[in-house]
Chain A
């Protein structure tokens, strides 16, 4: 299973942009890059995913490096509700198996 590396923690102030990095140097051509987040006392929540091109949705943007060995989740304006653990996960197209790493704990300060 392909592995991802993320910083243990990051901090941000409210209404500032946040860039959460993820390294996945062993990614294969069929692996999708998914991001999930887990708020306190809740199950993980899907944020965004992509394969090769940058992606945007109402929650965030995903920037994928040209060689696909790294990606960055971008929260354009952090809110207190964005404080969570963010997981970067590689998923092969033909399985629903999620291999979670340790994730990045994001703290947002008012």
Chain B
């Protein structure tokens, strides 16, 4: 069974641009969550989607948004990029509650110049 796939693996953007990251969950998993990891703040929860609906949202500005499609694939978008958005963005999928075991992808490393 294929694991969680995130594309692209690496991305370089400049300030002010926008970016879209993609996540394909494990087949059969309906829940997708996104996390940001930086050396200073560690791993922080961004948002969680289940059956195309956002179920939880972390404490991030509105520039960070996401969506989930009917096939459970998810995208997250960051608009008007800032230098501080440079981070490893991780996606995780699970079967959904109450299972709660999340399987993480390798992440997309975003560098904002």
Q: What residues of chain B lie closer than 8 Å to A102, measured between beta carbons?
A: 42
Do B33 and A97 touch (CB < 8 A)?
yes
Do B106 and A42 touch (CB < 8 A)?
yes
- Residue of chain B at shortest CB distance from A47: B101
- Residue of chain B at shortest CB distance from A99: B45
Q: A44-B43, A44-B90, A102-B42 known; A96 and B105 CB under 8 Å?
A: no
Q: Which of B12-20, B77-85, B92-100 forms part of the interface with chain A?
A: B92-100
A: contact size bracket: 20 to 34
Q: A96-B31, A96-B50 known; A44 and B97 CB under 8 Å?
A: no
Task: Determine chain A's interface SS by DSSP, over half rule.
Answer: loop
The residue that B45 contacts in the complex, of A36, A45, A97, with Cβ under 8 A, is A97
Do B45 and A95 touch (CB < 8 A)?
no
Interface assignment of A64: CB less than 8 Å from any CB of chain B: no
Interface assignment of B44: CB less than 8 Å from any CB of chain A: yes
Interface assignment of A109: CB less than 8 Å from any CB of chain B: no
Interface assignment of A98: CB less than 8 Å from any CB of chain B: yes
Do A95 and B42 touch (CB < 8 A)?
no
Do A43 and B107 touch (CB < 8 A)?
yes
Do B104 and A44 touch (CB < 8 A)?
yes
Task: Determine chain B's interface SS by DSSP, over half rule.
Answer: strand
The residue that B56 contacts in the complex, of A32, A97, A103, with Cβ under 8 A, is A97
Q: Which of A44, A96, A100 has the largest number of chain B CB atoms within 10 A?
A: A96
Q: What residues of chain A lie closer than 8 Å to B55, measured between beta carbons?
A: 95-96
Q: Which of B48, B55, B104, B105 has the largest number of chain A CB atoms within 10 A?
A: B104
Q: What residues of chain A lie closer than 8 Å to B45, measured between beta carbons?
A: 97-100
The 9 closest A-B pairs by CB, nearest first: A43-B104, A100-B43, A97-B56, A96-B31, A44-B104, A46-B101, A43-B90, A93-B98, A96-B48
- Please name 20 pairs of A and B residues whose Cβ atoms are closer than 8 Å in the assembled complex, sorted by A: A34-B100, A42-B106, A43-B90, A43-B104, A44-B43, A44-B90, A45-B104, A91-B100, A93-B97, A95-B97, A96-B33, A96-B55, A96-B97, A96-B102, A97-B33, A98-B35, A98-B45, A98-B92, A98-B102, A102-B42
